[in-house]
Amino acid sequence: MTSRVACQIDVGRGLAEGARHVPSPNQDARPPGASIDLIVVHGIGLPPGEFGGPWVEALFLNRLPWEQHPFFKSIEGLKVSAHVFVRRDGSMLQFVPFHARAWHAGASSWRSRTACNDFSIGIELEGADEVPYEPGQYAALAALVAGLRRAYPTLAPDAIAGHSDVAPGRKTDPGPAFDWARLGRELEALGRA
Ligand SMILES: [Zn+2]
């Protein structure tokens, strides 16, 4: 556990301090009156299981070279994004301001509300379902979640779910490798700081 300080959020701009800001075209306005009620945690690697390359950023910017890999070809034309991408080293890229709608959850439901993108913040961790996530990723995620809860009081402490929880049967990320108890401990430690 490295970070003991919540991430600062600029609510006016909807941006997280310390993240590199890389605006994605894959965003639009949340529905009128929608509040931010949920955080959705994802895992992604491009190609699946490979880390460290430029491809996730390229995907969220609609610049993935579809011809370069059979997996890329299999998702050709896909237009997706997340608010924040946390790399293996814990560094963060922000693609969509928090007040806007990122395109991360797809067909989904949470507590009988559908279309989770309307009311959620999507955070992608660079990873794979069966590969342990890095300590720096838990630290960065906990700091970000703590900062978001402070900045957006509509985010209740239990309003955090995996993509697999809001799209069961369709999505498996962040996978069994994601240690929810560890995230909880790190958030508790931040709360005591
Ligand atoms: Zn996902």
CA distance 71 to 168: 22
Distances (CA, A) of 49 to 43, 71, 81, 126: 10, 11, 19, 9
Residue 40, classed as helix, strand or coil, is strand
Q: Which helix (H) or strand (E) holds 128?
A: none
CA distance 155 to 1: 23
Gap from CA of 175 to ligand 1 centroid (Å) = 10
The pLDDT of residue 8 is 97
The pLDDT of residue 191 is 83
Catalytic annotation, residues: 124
Question: CB neighbours of 53 closer than 8 A, spacing ≥ 6?
Answer: 46
The pLDDT of residue 3 is 52
Judged on CB neighbours under 10 Å (0-12, 13-18, 19+), 51 is middle
Gap from CA of 192 to ligand 1 centroid (Å) = 30
The pLDDT of residue 1 is 43
Pick from 106, 130, 126: which is nearest to 118 by CA? Answer: 106
The pLDDT of residue 184 is 97
Judged on CB neighbours under 10 Å (0-12, 13-18, 19+), 139 is buried
Gap from CA of 158 to ligand 1 centroid (Å) = 19
Residues of the chain with pLDDT under 50: 1
CATH architecture for residues 9-153+166-192: 3-Layer(aba) Sandwich (3.40)
The pLDDT of residue 183 is 98
Gap from CA of 130 to ligand 1 centroid (Å) = 14
**Beta-bridge partner residues of 126:** 44
